[in-house]
């Protein structure tokens, strides 16, 4: 076998975490990008800064903030556990939350750039013909933003796969529960006999990262040609 059982568990868990992170963050990312690309409002600069913060803060700090907010004693953590029965701290769902937070700035930035490239006269023309703002968004803005949405989702997915600092601070690295690809590499490096495992997982991570970058550009260009927007 190319990978051992524990390695496969870490890989499949990472894929599951990244997929959930994108599924949850994509609608929020589209909404945030639309606000930044199309709206002027009080606190806009602060809103933009908060979104970009995970790119600047040390990942460990982000993980600690998540632990304070979404831990079992945190205000949001208690709310989600009491209302929805959902626990984040030291669970794979918490790993997905950390991955979503760390990948969110990349997602928003790509979608925002795509939306800002749209000719607003197309949206104005649709409004002039009687379309409501939500309908204009769904039939004009969203389709023309597809290149950025796809590119942002792929890049955020790849970022989620490689997340380490915030994840290990928030949910630790429990084998089979929260030990993702990055934390499995770290654990392997701490084992004197774990170098071959670390090397295999590292090569896999590099391949996935290169594939994500290539796929992001290729798909966004292909969709851009189809919808008639600049890639």
Q: What is the CATH number of the domain that holds 177?
A: 1.10.3720.10
Q: Is 171 part of any domain?
A: yes
For 41, list phi and psi in degrees, rounded to 5. Answer: -155, 160
pLDDT of residue 151: 87
Q: Tell me which residue of 159, 166, 168 sits closest to 209, measured CA to CA.
A: 159
Structure-block tokens of residue 41 = 């409002």
Structure-block tokens of residue 75 = 């205000």
Q: Is 119 part of any domain?
A: yes
Q: Is 223 part of any domain?
A: yes
The number of folded domains in the chain is 1
Point out the residues of the chain with pLDDT beneath 70.
1, 220, 223-224, 226-231
Structure-block tokens of residue 197 = 């495992």
pLDDT of residue 226: 65
Contacts of 174 (CB under 8 A, 6+ apart): 90
Q: Is 81 part of any domain?
A: no
pLDDT of residue 230: 56
Q: Is 41 part of any domain?
A: yes
- Asked whether 87 and 97 are in contact (CB, 8 A), the reply is no
Q: Is 18 part of any domain?
A: yes
Q: Is 166 exposed, middle or buried (0-12, 13-18, 19+ CB in 10 A)?
A: buried
Structure-block tokens of residue 152 = 């942002």
């Amino acid at each position: 076998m190319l990978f051992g059982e524990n390695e496969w568990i870490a890989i499949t868990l990472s894929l599951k975490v990244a997929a959930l992170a994108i599924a949850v963050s994509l609608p929020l990312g589209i909404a945030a990008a639309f606000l930044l690309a199309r709206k002027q409002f009080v606190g806009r600069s602060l809103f933009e800064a908060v979104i970009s913060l995970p790119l600047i803060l040390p990942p460990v700090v982000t993980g600690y903030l998540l632990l304070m907010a979404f831990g079992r004693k945190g205000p949001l953590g208690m709310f989600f556990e009491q209302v929805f029965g959902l626990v984040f701290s030291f669970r794979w769902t918490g790993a997905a939350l950390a991955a979503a937070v760390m990948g969110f700035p990349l997602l928003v930035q790509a979608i925002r750039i795509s939306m800002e490239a749209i000719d607003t006269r197309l949206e104005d023309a649709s409004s002039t013909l009687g379309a409501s703002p939500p309908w204009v968004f769904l039939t004009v803005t969203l389709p023309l933003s597809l290149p950025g949405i796809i590119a942002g989702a792929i890049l955020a997915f790849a970022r989620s796969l490689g997340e380490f600092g915030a994840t290990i601070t928030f949910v630790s690295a429990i084998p089979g529960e929260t030990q993702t690809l990055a934390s499995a590499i770290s654990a392997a490096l701490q084992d004197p006999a774990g170098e071959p495992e670390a090397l295999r997982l590292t090569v896999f991570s590099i391949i996935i990262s290169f594939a994500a970058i290539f796929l992001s550009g290729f798909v966004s260009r292909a969709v851009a040609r189809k919808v008639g927007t600049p890639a």
